[in-house]
Structure 1
Amino acid sequence: MYYNWLDRWDERRAQRGDEGKTVTEFALDAETAFPNAAKIGSIKEFCVIADRAVDDPKFYDPPDGGNPKFQESDGWLKFPSDIATDIDENNMVWAKITKGGSLRQAIVVFHHWNASKRNRQIAKFLSVRGLTVVEIAMPYHFERSRPGSAHADYMLSPNLGRTIQSIRQAVWDGRKLIRWLKSEGYEDVSVLGMSLGSWVAGLIAAHDLAVSKASLFLTGGSLADMVWSGRATRAIRNSLAPDIQLTDFRRAWGPLNMENYAHRLARPGLHLHVVLARRDKVILPELSHGFMQTLTRAGALPTVLQLNCGHYSLAMPPYILLAGLSLKRFL
């Protein structure tokens, strides 16, 4: 009886999240994802370029800039993104800093898709334990939102190229922030990502040796499979289905698939923590379990907590308390 109620609660929460989401036009937009690519007109050509990006060890390396132009004031940090888009607001990165104690440890938090506000509870929970918490705005979120948009539709959409650009921008922004934290004297830097934010945090951990710990809440390996099968992305699936098969979609978004970087996530010196929901309809449990198996085969030893709740009900007690205690022990 309780779990039937919990499932219905998750479904009602998902229905509220559907507001403003509509079927939109499918687009390749390869030049946006891969600036040096010639204009292409077929999914097959797009997939060839995406394959090259997966094999490119520098695809997620931000450029080495001269003057980074970081501005810190009253608990806020802002700096320009190294990827310029046609939305001016999105080109400036904002982060909220909650200082910890004397520990020289920091954790960068990447929130879920369409998050409307930062999480003061998480910031307080970790900062009173000595960690400095930095909650970064992902592309098209918070201060970076696209004017007139009801949700962060430019970060995750049926525009294949723009979605790749957005995730890559989030990774570059996060890595640039981590470089700043290291320059400020933080010796131990961790990342925490939730839902879509877990893909960003995971890709950063896979490519940045400065990250010592990565905690991934509600995660999976293939972003394409998550979008194709997930409850929260039905509008995107309906936009894609008439024009692309799942096999091509997986290949096109290969650069966003954390399974392709499992060997990097299994690197020595990186500790992984994962929280999964057994009743998740947004990131199906079979996707999460498949990702865990891929990590294990690559040699990683993630600490995994599975809770008998849904995607949204993870935020409810007792589940969020259990997840928080597990995260505390991990960090």
Structure 2
Amino acid sequence: MFFSTFIDRLALYDLHRKRSKDKHFSAFSLDTIARDEFYKSKIADVSIILDESRKKYMVGTFSYESLIPSGDLVNDTLKGEVFFNKTDIDKPNVIFVHGWRMDSYDRIKKIFHHRIMKDLGWNMYYFSLPYHFEREPEHSRYSGELMISANIDRTVESTRQAIVDLRALIHWIKANKTGPVILVGVSLGGWIANLIATLESQIDVVASIFYANRLSYSIWNTIPGKFIREELEQHGVTYEDLIRYWEITDPSQAVPKVNKDHILLISAKYDQYIDIKDADSLWESWGKPERYLYNCGHAGIVLCRKKLALDTLSFIQKKLKR
């Protein structure tokens, strides 16, 4: 326990060495709207460019324009990496969703990528969240700064943009590929995966790794959110206010549309980024789907790669065989 906590605290110290210089606060002004309507989506007009051959794979990029434009041209063009099996006969399609402030897909690739290419041959898609990677505006201090912040409305709209655009990609895959669709989210990507599981029935398997449940809880009660909380409090926002403002982004407010038996939740007992109590809350509200608890902290994303890959891929394979 001490070692896991210590490693997470070191990583958090390094994380906060790069922090927002500008103030982001904006008051809440979004109109009340039903969840299904708020996150409504349609098929994306996806462009695929395959420009490299690697053994059994064709490698390239996919891109399309966001269905929920933010007004920032850089953020509103999605571009991700794609790996297609050359045979492409009923191969599963796995979409990976990264974490907050990640600046590349490397951490996720080091867990899953080689194992899938070598042993499974699945098609892979690496999806970029709003304001991350190539979608990060020039004035942003770090990847993802503008997605989660004290700008209450923009945080909700960025979440909406992520969900609607990810659903649009899923619809494209369903229309153009014959294999099942698998969604794997890590950290913030796990939260996105959980939220989309309550909205999208065309996902065959969901694996959510070191996920948050209630965004307001994470901002108010964990170290990564401390400076955002500080800015919100400076403007008179209380915890109860934030819960209400961000309720539409809370996965535990709805039941999954994905088969509960096809959902895997993985949490770390000593996580200093995601409070285990918050992770417990989602698991319980969803009727306790299959769940693994690791004796590590959030750094288990790096330290437990082999176990994460084995547990996640074994679960997915087991569900696809049924």
Letter of the aligned partner of 1:203 in structure 2? Answer: L
| Kept after mapping to 2: 8 A contact 1:227/1:236 | yes
Q: Given the alignment, which residue of 118, 125, 143 partners 2:115?
A: 125
Is residue 90–residue 177 contact of structure 2 (8 Å, CA) maintained in 1? no
The Cα of 1:291 is off from its aligned counterpart by 1.4
Conservation of the 8 A alpha-carbon contact between 1:277 and 1:314: no
From the superposition, tell whether residues 222 and 237 of structure 1 become closer, same or farther in structure 2 (CA, over 3 Å).
same
> 1:247 Cα deviation (Å)?
1.2
1:72 paired residue among 49, 56, 65: 49
- 5 Å matches for 1:153-232? 153-232=145-224
Shift of 1:154: 0.9
Q: Which residue of structure 2 aligns with residue 46 of structure 1?
A: none
Residue 95 of structure 1 aligns with an amino acid whose one-letter code is G
The 8 Å contact of residues 20 and 141 in structure 2, kept in 1 or not, is answered as: no
Alpha-carbon contact 1:81-1:92 (below 8 Å) kept = yes
Equivalent of 2:240, from 243, 247, 250?
A: 247
Question: Structure 1 residue runs of 4+, over 6 Å off?
Answer: none
CA distance in 2, matches of 1:4, 1:217: 22
Structure 2 counterparts to residues 1-331 of structure 1, below 5 A: 3-22=1-20, 24-28=23-27, 30=29, 34=30, 37=31, 49=32, 53=33, 55-63=34-42, 68=45, 70-74=47-51, 75-100=60-85, 102-119=89-106, 120-121=109-110, 122-128=112-118, 129-151=120-142, 152-242=144-234, 243-261=236-254, 263-265=255-257, 267-268=258-259, 271-296=262-287, 301-316=288-303, 319-331=304-316
Equivalent AA in structure 2 for residue 60 of structure 1: Y
- Give the deviation of 1:126 after TM superposition: 2.3
Distance 2:99 2:259 in 1: 28
Structure 2 distance, partners of 1:86, 1:315, is 35
Shift of residue 103 of structure 1? 4.3
3-state SS, counterpart of residue 244 of structure 1: coil
1:276 and 1:306 in contact (8 A); partners too: yes
Q: State the distance in 2 between where 1:183 and 1:269 align.
A: 24
- Give, in angstroms, the shift of residue 302 of structure 1: 1.8
Match of 2:54 in 1: none
Q: Deviations over 1:191-210 (max 9, x none)?
A: 11111111211222221111
> What is the TM-score when the length of structure 1 is the normalising length?
0.84
CA distance in 2, matches of 1:186, 1:272: 21
Amino acid at match of 1:172: V
Are the counterparts in 2 of residues 69 and 79 from structure 1 also a CA contact under 8 Å?
yes
Which segments of 5 or more consecutive residues in structure 2 lack a partner in the other structure? 52-59, 317-322
TM-aligned CA distance change 1:71 to 1:132, over 3 Å? closer
- Fraction of identical pairs, as percent: 21
TM-score by length of 2: 0.87
How far apart are 1:63 and its partner, in Å? Answer: 4.7
Q: 1:45 — aligned with what? A: none
Quote the Cα distance in structure 1 between the aligned partners of 2:20 and 2:10: 18
Query: In 1, distance between residues paired with 2:203 and 2:42?
Result: 18
RMSD: 1.9
Amino acid in the other structure paired with 1:247 = E
3-state SS of paired residue (2:177): coil
